Amino acid sequence: DGGGSTRIPASFSGLVGLKASRGRVPQPLAQNEYMSRHTIDGVLTRTVWDTAAIYDYLTDIPDGGTFIPMGAPAESYLSLVSRDPGPLVIGLSTGRWGRGTDTVSEVSERVRVVGALLDRLGHRVEEIDDTRICDWDAMWDGYVTTWISSNARLRHEAEQQGINPSDLENYVTPIIYRHYLAADRYDKYDVWRAMERNNQVTRAFGRFMSRFDLLLTPTFAIQPQLANGPYSLLRDQELDPWVSRLCDACRYVMPGNETGMPSISVPAGVDREGLPIGVLLHARWGREDLLLQIAAQLERWKPEWFEAFPPIHAGI
């Protein structure tokens, strides 16, 4: 999950998808958190219970297995999900998060319904002004710079497979190949700027989240899309409009990759066409335990709760 690839498929499929904090899950041997700070491995499951059980295994880090020791949780995730958390302060946002388009209204409404349920369950839910979270220009500049420039590694990976980099176009999708070509736009000064942006944005999120236990948003800003449509890696078009369109849709998941914050996508029913909608819960660094507890609390409710409570209103 470098930009939502655990959480977005979960949202599209009525499944549970957790992206853990940076450093919580050991990286594959060919990677480390310094060189691939956006990406962390995860799983899709049918239930929060399954996610908790798997993460008890995934987060058993061997000595030297991470650059960023997180410390083990006080107890197993599996034992935690059997009981509800105490009352929490939860921010709610369906705003633009620095992008140029609004979130689809049906998706926003579903987030507000989930917020209403959490409010009825004893948590304090308040709508936030997303413009106060961070400098969004810095966030998107840093993220996109790292996203595109990191594709320079494809040259090394091609050579390892015995592929001449000049023939790479024949082995990858059109959009991936354009990522590879665009990586040459960036030099070491751009990478240093992106790292500076990362510090700036991550600390801004830290200050903002000091007010809340959790943040509730959509997982995806639009409804599920057709395969091979405008977001597909198979699309044959210029890179920059494709990346911009993707960032618009992924506005709520990508900041978690940039900052290393954990978040979990949980099912929130279906839209008018019967397609699944997921909502995303973000937590402070290292609080996967709290995410799993609140997700399990939601999961214990019957599907009828989507219609049982009116939408939450601005200004609550």
171-208, pLDDT tens digit by residue?
999 999 999 999 999 999 999 999 999 999 999 999 99
Q: Which residues share a beta bridge with 16?
A: 45
CA separation for the pair 85, 122 (Å, rounded): 10
pLDDT exceeds cutoff 60 at 258: yes
pLDDT exceeds cutoff 50 at 310: no
Burial of 184 (0-12, 13-18, 19+ CB in 10 A): exposed
The whole-angstrom distance between residue 86's C-alpha and the CA centroid of its chain comes to 25
46-105, pLDDT tens digit by residue?
999 999 999 999 988 888 877 787 777 789 999 999 999 999 999 999 999 999 999 999
Contacts of 250 (CB under 8 A, 6+ apart): 3, 4, 8, 220, 221
Length of the chain: 316
CB-CB contact of 77 with 292 (8 Å): yes
Give the confidence band of 316 by pLDDT, cuts at 50, 70, 90: very low
Q: What is the mean pLDDT of residues 288-292?
A: 97
Q: pTM (2 decimals)? A: 0.93
pLDDT exceeds cutoff 60 at 305: no
Contacts of 316 (CB under 8 A, 6+ apart): 92, 115, 119, 125, 126, 127
Provide the CATH number for the domain formed by 7-308 in this structure: 3.90.1300.10
In the block, tokens 């024949």 appear at 170
Please provide the average confidence, as pLDDT, over all residues in the chain: 91
Q: What is the mean pLDDT of residues 248-263?
A: 97
CA separation for the pair 143, 255 (Å, rounded): 8
CA separation for the pair 138, 217 (Å, rounded): 21
pLDDT exceeds cutoff 80 at 313: no
Give the confidence band of 312 by pLDDT, cuts at 50, 70, 90: very low
Percent of the chain exceeding pLDDT 70 equals: 95
